[in-house]
Chain A
Amino acid sequence: MPQPDTKWSHSDLLSVLARSAPDALKPFAEGLMPQLGDLEVLHSRTGLVMLPMRDTAQGTAFHLGEILVSEAHLRRGPHEGYGMRKGRDLEAAMAMALVDLALDAGLAVPNCQAFVAAQHRLHEDEDRATLCRVEATRVDMETF
């Protein structure tokens, strides 16, 4: 993930949006709608993503199982917006797609990037808190 002053890659933006809490993402995306105007909804649906893994014993790629996701795909003239998130919240996927579309169309870019940066900081804080709790379980086997 980029530092606060660096440019966000499309991949990082999408990953942060996919993880953003629905109660933050939805109102933010709703605020973009007046600027976006008429949209074409290509998809708004739930579906499955198969998740493969690499076996560490023999290197074989195999399927672990399927993940339920929600997907939204929008079009506005030559611009597209796409959202895919774990879970069955179609509104959250649509909100993600709206932000992606706004960025693709060059609308409200500073606002969108500020939102993503704020969400990213929250995610970093969550991860840090989790990993500090995990670190507390580190065991020194010499004294075990």
Chain B
Amino acid sequence: MAYVATRGGARAIEQAERLFRTEMGAIDAARVAEIRAAMPYLIDRVMGEASLYDEDIAALALAQTGGDLYEAVLLLRAWRTTQPRLQVAEPVAQDGLFTHRRISAAFKDIPGGQLLGPTLDYSHRLLASEVLTGTPFAPKPVDAAPTPAPATQPSVAAWQAANDLVDLPEPDMTRPDDIPDVTREPVLFPSKRAHTLQSLARADTGGTLALGYAAMRGYGKAHPTVNELRLAEAEVMVKHPKGTEFSAGRVKVSQAEVVSKSGDKLSLGFAATLGWNEVKCISAATLDLNSKGAAKGSATEEEFFLYHTEGVESSGFCIHFKLPHYVTFQSSLDAMRDANAQKAAPQTPDQEPAE
């Protein structure tokens, strides 16, 4: 590769980094704590894309990069490699999730009912501009119900299966340690479903939305309806050295099922991610729903969407074009000049290309 055909500039590079960091000023624990407390959805998005769950570390990455999401995710993915993997937890099952929000756009009378949970879905989006003129915005407290919602909610798909609308899958009995893992093996196509879902779980939200939106607008074969959308907390079930299983704590997860008519049954698309990120899950589930039999090179074809929604690779490839390409570009320029010179030169018989 001849991308870096330059020498020198160490001082300028040092000063450029200082200039970047000067704008953000000193970073201390208080700033990190404030970012964590004030921006939970941004923290969730970064943790999901980094595929690393820790709110403090995610907030630190955001503080250190001034909120540049691609840089923050890159920092976290790099830092992750310094940590040993201690265990693989027991798989999370939908019916064990501590549920904060569970809705269906396909059926209104789902078992367990519809819980809107924390959302702005039905709210006016008005900028609280008075904050800038000295009037703080204080959210009204929730008027809590006298009795709690059930901690867990039944699966909509299981209810549909009972009504012969979908076929419930056989449970995958793969041992946790044997589940295919894109952090340890390459994704090959056609992709294993475990690779596809893991890649979508850590995919770039914007990229996933762009391709999912293309499918929703008609560039896919199936129009999605949200069968079930859930924001929840999952117990991280680990093992004590004596074999006792226990929860090391809860983490926020989101999952979406989208549904479309397929013959005399419904077909489902699925996606989930660490943190609460509904747009990514619905978009990713739409891609999953549309991927079967998708045309090569289309937005809904597995190879296309998995390669193009990997945020660290795609942003890295994009920004590498800023780095010196003097040799490769000079070569293109030379070829262009040669071609122009040949065109401009008077044609003589002995200059014609050989047959």
Contact = CB atoms under 8 A, between A and B. Distances in A.
B309 interface: no
B67 interface: no
B145 A68 contact: no
Given A46-B83, A127-B98, A68 B54 contact: yes
Interface string A25-47: 00000000000000000000111
A49 B148 contact: no
Nearest to A52: B91
A10 B243 CA distance: 10
A50 B172 contact: no
Contacts of B69: none
Nearest to A45: B84
B216 interface: no
Contact of A131 (B118, B151, B183): B151
Interface stretch (B109-117, B123-131, B312-320, B324-332): B109-117
A139 B116 CA distance: 7
Please classify how large the interface on chain A is, using the bins under 10, 10 to 19, 20 to 34, 35 or more.
Answer: 35 or more
Interface string A87-112: 11000000000001000000000000
A132 B146 contact: yes
Interface string B70-97: 0000000000100111111111111000
Contact of A60 (B142, B149, B193): B193
Q: Which of B91, B169, B241, B273 has the most CB of A within 10 A?
A: B91
Contacts, number: 258
A59 B250 CA distance: 22
A88 B57 contact: yes
B176 A88 contact: no
A63 B248 contact: no
Contact of B94 (A52, A54, A86, A135): A54
B295 interface: no
Given A14-B246, A129-B144, A138-B114, A51 B89 contact: yes
B242 interface: yes
Contact of A133 (B142, B174, B198, B253): B142
B147 interface: yes
A58 B169 contact: yes
Contacts of A87: 54, 56, 249
B322 interface: no
A63 B56 CA distance: 22
B248 A52 contact: no
Nearest to B84: A47
A139 to B, nearest CB: 5
B273 A63 contact: no
A136 B100 CA distance: 11
Given A62-B194, A139-B113, 18 more contacts: A18-B247, A46-B83, A51-B53, A51-B274, A52-B176, A57-B270, A59-B169, A59-B172, A61-B174, A64-B272, A65-B51, A69-B86, A80-B242, A86-B54, A87-B249, A131-B151, A136-B143, A138-B115
15 contacts: A10-B242, A14-B247, A49-B86, A49-B87, A64-B92, A64-B274, A66-B51, A66-B52, A67-B251, A68-B53, A69-B248, A82-B242, A137-B118, A139-B116, A144-B108
Interface of A: 10-15, 18-19, 45-69, 71, 73, 80, 82, 84-88, 100, 127-139, 141-142, 144
